[in-house]
Amino acid sequence: MCYHLHSRMSVFLYLFFLVFGLQATIHCAQYNSSEGKVMTCHLPQQNATLYKMSSTNADFAFRLYRRFSVENPDWNIFFSPVSISAALAMLSFVSGSSTQTQILEVLGFNLTDTPMTEFHQGFQHLICSLNFPKNELELQMGNAVFIGQQLKPLAKFLDNVKTLYETEVFPTDFSNVSAVQQEINSYVEKQSKGKIIGLIQDLRLNIIMILVNYIHFKEASSNFSVDKTTTVQVPMMHQLEEYYHFVDVELNCTVLQMDYSENALALFVLPKEGHVEWVEAAMSAKTLKKWNHLLQKGWVELFVPKFSISATYDLGSTLQKMGMRDAFAEGADFPGITEDNGLKLSYAFHKAVLHIGEEGTKEGIVPEAVSLDQAEVAPLYPIIRFDRTFLLMILEKRTRSILFLGKVVNPAKE
């Protein structure tokens, strides 16, 4: 049965965020999945807009983190802020009136400070910088749009989403729900290198467009107290290594930076007992900048748990609470996609997966003059033991973009 779009009918624009982190060493290859060819991305010149955007995106990341924390108390948290920001920015590109204004406000941007052209060029530069081929960091970020074949997308939409947001567009027959599910699941499985299979199971009717946003990242690289009354057994990784670290006496936490490669780094933040909420409330772009200036390199005896976490969020509900209401309402305005009217968002969710283990981690290096005898080594260096709730950030060095952000409450729970 052929599905026809009528201007008075409220049809659904299905927004879907796919984010996945792969297990520990960073891989990045930039492919056009439909052709299997390497895509060309010319690295843009560094500019003030790129760094201003990184700061604004970081503040959005922490606002979203605090929402997830309130909505999922005592749960592990893990998501990709830069991926969500890029997908919302792309959505703002095709929206108008208050729908666009609300998306920009949720992201933390306004057109007075950042004109629309500069805003989208900034995200174009950000995506290009993240995807630019590097020797050690392998990172791929992109979008795919599955759009109803009965629609007539505007030529400007097709050109700009490809140029600005590195998006592939696939005409799709949404009248065959099972075939669409199989097509999208196959795409997801391919992009995740087989890590995510059969993600979409119950595709809704009346869907006319699905946006898939993905980020493919591979990092290179006892007892754990869940709360005062609960302790779980988890394997701990032990290293004696030089790391940038320091104790933030203002926020009552220890910060340790781990360089996985020339281009990516991780920040582990260990709040003192009972101070997790204090640290969470203070997290901001300004806080990250302060830590960046205060971190000092030194030998550390480090204990980090092995763990795998995955998290799925009803992002639509969260974004509406943050002020992005019109996009999901009957009066939603998306004039940049097609001349047909009546489009609105029906659903949005975000999934992220992370595995931290010993594969790919570097062997600890110790000074030649220092004995490896534990009795002699132990008193010489500070011991940092991540054996209670801690925060985790993975950042791309050049843009300081937060690729992933999370909190490990219980490493035994996936």
pLDDT tens-digit profile, the chain (414 residues) = 332 222 223 345 555 554 332 222 222 223 233 333 333 445 444 556 677 788 999 999 999 999 999 998 889 999 989 889 988 998 898 899 999 999 999 999 988 888 888 888 888 888 877 776 554 445 667 778 888 888 888 999 888 888 888 888 889 898 888 898 899 889 877 877 776 677 777 777 778 888 887 776 654 445 656 766 667 677 888 888 899 999 999 999 999 998 766 667 889 999 999 999 999 999 999 999 999 999 999 999 999 888 787 788 888 899 999 999 999 888 889 899 888 777 888 778 787 777 777 543 332 222 222 323 444 444 588 999 999 999 999 888 877 889 889 999 988 776
Residues 89 and 106 in one domain: yes
Angle between helices 116-131 and 155-165 (to 10 degrees): 50
Strand partners, 264: 396
What pLDDT shows up at residue 261? 60
Residue 349 lies in a domain: yes
Contacts of 190 (CB under 8 A, 6+ apart): 33
Identify the domain containing residue 289 by its residue range.
224-304+371-408
How far is Cα 243 from Cα 258, in angstroms, rounded to an integer?
6
Q: Are residues 167 and 282 in the same domain?
A: no
Per the domain annotation, does 364 fall within a domain?
A: no
Tokens of 312: 């799925």
Whether residues 317 and 281 share a domain: the answer is: no
Q: What's 299's domain CATH number?
A: 2.30.39.10
Backbone dihedral region for residue 274 (phi beyond 0: left; psi -120 to 50: alpha; all else: beta): left
Q: What is the domain-level CATH number for residue 62?
A: 3.30.497.10
Q: What's the confidence (pLDDT) of residue 58? A: 95
Q: Is residue 275 part of a domain?
A: yes
Residue 255 CA from chain centroid, whole number: 21
CA distance 215 to 208: 24
Instruction: Tell me whether residue 165 is in a domain.
Output: yes
The pLDDT, as a whole number, for residue 285 is 95
pLDDT of res. 403: 86
Phi, psi of 385 (to 5 degrees): -120, 110
Closest CA to 308 of 62, 18, 20: 20
Structural domain count of the chain: 2
Residue 365 in domain: no
Instruction: State whether 102 and 31 are in the same domain.
Output: yes
Instruction: Read off the tokens for 23.
Output: 């297990």
Residue 48 lies inside a defined structural domain of this protein: yes
DSSP 8-state class, residue 378: G
CB-based contacts of 361-369 (< 8 A; 24+ apart in sequence)? 361/24, 361/221, 361/237, 361/239, 362/221, 362/241, 364/239, 364/240, 364/241, 365/241, 365/242, 366/240, 366/299, 367/299
How far from 197 is each of 192, 194, 255, 292, CA to CA, in Å?
Answer: 9, 7, 36, 38
Same domain? For 88 and 193 the reply is: yes
Beta bridge partners of 88: none
Identify whether residues 163 and 131 lie together within a single domain.
yes
The rounded distance, in Å, linking the Cα atoms of 215 and 143 is: 9
Angle between helices 48-71 and 81-93 (to 10 degrees): 110
In a domain, residue 159? The reply is yes
Q: What angle do CA 187, 163, 181 make, to 5 degrees?
A: 20
Edge-to-edge strand order for the sheet containing 390-396?
A: 77-79, 401-408, 390-396, 264-271, 253-259, 236-248, 296-305, 383-385
**Whole-number pLDDT of residue 363:** 29
